[in-house]
Amino acid sequence: MNYSYQKEIIYETLKTLKNHPTAEYVYHYLKYKNYKISLATVYRNLNKMAALGKIKKIGGINGSARYDYNINKHYHFECQSCGKIFDISSEFTLGLTEQIQNATGFKIYSHDMIFYGLCAECRDNNYKTITL
């Protein structure tokens, strides 16, 4: 991937945000910061970086792809109330790939896992709302 100023600002923005943003979010953030960049450029560069393994593309969360600077093995949790995305350590599922391979005979090269529910803050707020 050739260096370009636009690629660098997109990558640094993703690194700074850490909220698993959509391409649209990155675009609006950069426009807010007064960068001259098109939405198509943001999409193109995020997808190129993901294809090269420089960032991780997480598909299907809230209907739009999200992008993650953290390419280390980990999973995600999406709060169904506030929509925030959280990282979950892969230590919780050590040996999962091997268990599935042994049980099915599949050869697994990679996988993604997304958990859905309520984050602690929303769970507490919903509990307070229900109990009042």
**Which residue did the predictor score with more confidence, 36 or 126?**
36
pLDDT tens, position by position, 20-63? 999 999 999 999 999 999 999 999 999 999 999 999 998 765 57
**16 and 58: one domain?**
yes
| Angle (nearest 5°) at CA 40 between 72 and 10 | 40
Please report, for the domain that includes residue 61, its CATH number: 1.10.10.10
Pair 88, 94: CB distance under 8 Å? no
Average pLDDT over residues 101-106: 96
List the single range of 96-100, 120-124, 126-130 with lowest mean pLDDT. 126-130
**Domain span including residue 114:** 72-132
Could you tell me which residues come within 8 angstroms of residue 7 by beta carbon, excluding any fewer than 6 positions away?
1, 45, 48, 49
**88 and 57: one domain?**
no
Residue that finishes a domain, picked among 71, 88, 115: 71
User: Model-level pTM?
Assistant: 0.77
